[in-house]
Structure 1
Amino acid sequence: MIDKQSQVPIYHQIEEHIKAKIENGEYQPGDALPSEREYAEQLNVSRMTVRQAITNLVNEHYLKRIKGRGTFITERKFEQHLNGLTSFTEDMKVRGMKPSNKLVHFEIVPATTEISEQLHIAAHTPVYEIKRIRLAENIPMALERTYIPANLMKGLTDDIVQHSIYQYVEEELALKLGKARQIFEATLANEEESTLLEIPEESPILSITRITKLVDGTIFEVVQSAYRADQYKFILDLDR
């Protein structure tokens, strides 16, 4: 398994060995990793070499150290590619996972100054204010606050917002979604976010504001999302 004659550093071979066990399911999230001593004896290498491999995997978030207990396999993060405009529901279905929503708040309210500026509407114009917890396999992944001009999308109901708004917009209202701009920030969970996402207060979260337009340029929605940083990572492929 470890080729000491290879030009590939031994610590890197150990990293790939552990990664393979994680990928094939031999090591499950939450499992304890064998100790450095056990690995060193099993592979006939130094503990320092094993320690370097494990440290690298901790830095890459494959493993986590818990003081006084040992090293454990972390939960794998959901990967979200940023190459297209898709809904949370669509993203989870592509992964073969069951998406669901928990509706926290839904009503028509006057747009605040900030929201009216983002939607390009007059201040105090009626907007739908929708707050949902987005879940995958019943795990809270994100808290979304969505704002949609009420005059643009009449007839929105509790039942619709608990499923896919995008699906309703395109299939029932025959409106064509165009493009969106997303703004990312790293921040810490406040009391409400920590409670609804079931994470400790001031845990790291990814704060994302998305402004979506229809193909005719009309701004359709503003979505303010708080994604669990321990469950989600975003990927953007760039071409030169």
Structure 2
Amino acid sequence: MLVSNPINREKPQKLYVQLYAVLKAKIASGELPEGSQIPTEDELCKIYEVSKATVKLAVLELARQGYLKRQQGKGTFVCKRVISEGLTMHTSFKELMLDAGLDFSTQVLAKTVMMPTDDLDAKLNISADTHVFYIKRLRSIDGEPVLLQEAYIPCQACPMLLGEDMVNNSLIDILEKKHSIEITKIKDYIELTYLTDEDARLLGLSGGAPALVMEQQLYSGESQIMYIRSLKRSDRFRFFIEFERNAD
């Protein structure tokens, strides 16, 4: 049943994006109906002749968008997706989404150029040989570390970025106000994780402590311009996200 819409390796589009589109179309058409269990990762690898990493990325993105639900020990199932009606992110984007009115300080722990590792090229939708700016910062409130943030930006998007003041300015403000790169859309994914020993040390916690992780994909038009991964202490403060209805 799932062998139609094969993956085309001649296309420039990444394989996980093609697999995502194939599975999404089958869910939309009812070929994979609500409540049904999709094939396992190993089965999808055999059906579409792709790697497990490709399958994981496609399935994870479908789950994040509400098309699939992963149940521990049982499998992955098609679920009903609730579509918002005309709601969009507020046009004044905030890089640091904590409760409004909080004053925080910023420490830049690292800023350098790197090549994509792991699945970073997929998360930024770039080729594996594209150079990327890596910025790591620690945010504190009243001297208490609260949020550890790692940002990745393709060098070609803003070649002079590393010369900017990242202590007193947000990356979004730098891109928009100094380099005229308008951020038009942000996708946020928030879940619970457990800190590694190094991340826990930076946040003043014990290794294995729970934390909230937010992954943000930022776009300028149709181009993805930045990927941010933020780790926030789950015991202090809250994330703050604002929506508004389009005026159109």
TM class by shorter-chain length?
Answer: 0.5 to 0.7
- Write the mapping of 1:166-177 to structure 2, written as runs, cut at 5 A: 166-177=172-183
Kindly indicate whether the alpha-carbon contact (under 8 Å) linking 1:188 and 1:202 is maintained by their aligned counterparts in 2.
Answer: yes
Instruction: Give, as a single letter, the amino acid of the residue that structure 1 aligns with 2:206.
Output: P
Query: CA-to-partner distance for each residue in 1:51-107, whole Å, 9 max, x for gaps?
Result: xxxxxxxxxxxxxxxxxxxxxxxxxxxxxxx9543122x857x40x33221111110
What does 1:32-51 correspond to in 2, within 5 Å? none
Q: Post-superposition shift, 1:185?
A: 1.6
Residue 106 of structure 2: aligned partner:
101
Quote the residue 1:180 is aligned against.
186
Kindly provide the amino acid, as one letter, of the partner of residue 112 in structure 1: T
Asked if the contact 2:187/2:218 (under 8 Å) is kept, the reply is yes
CA distance in 2, matches of 1:238, 1:134: 24
For each residue in 1:93-138, what CA deviation from the matched residue of structure 2 results, as whole angstroms up to 9, or x when unmatched? Answer: x40x332211111100011251111111100310001111012232
Q: Closer, same or farther in 2 for the Cα pair 1:184/1:124, shift >3 Å? A: same
TM-fit CA distance, 1:211: 0.5
Letter in structure 1 aligned against 2:157: L
Alignment of 1:213 with 2:224, yes or no, is no
Cα gap change, 1:175 to 1:146, in 2 (>3 Å): same
- In 2, the alpha carbon distance for the partners of 1:235 and 1:100 equals 18
Structure 1 residue aligned with 2:153: 148
Q: Secondary structure at the match of 1:172?
A: helix
Cα deviation, 1:27-73, whole Å, max 9, x if unaligned, reads xxxxxxxxxxxxxxxxxxxxxxxxxxxxxxxxxxxxxxxxxxxxxxx
- Unpaired runs of at least 5, structure 2: 1-87
Q: 1:127 aligns with which of 129, 132, 151?
A: 132
- Is contact 1:106-1:158 (8 Å) kept? no
The number of aligned residues is 154
Q: Percent identity?
A: 20
1:112–1:124 contact (8 Å) kept in structure 2: no
Offset at residue 157 of structure 1 (A): 2.4
RMSD: 2.5
- 2-structure distance, mates of 1:219, 1:131: 19
Change (3 A) 1:211 1:237: closer
TM value normalised by structure 2: 0.56
2:175 match: secondary structure: helix
Contact 2:200–2:209 (CA under 8 A) maintained in structure 1? yes
Q: Which amino acid aligns with 2:95?
A: S
1:87 corresponds to: 95
Q: Does 1:222 align with 2:222?
A: no
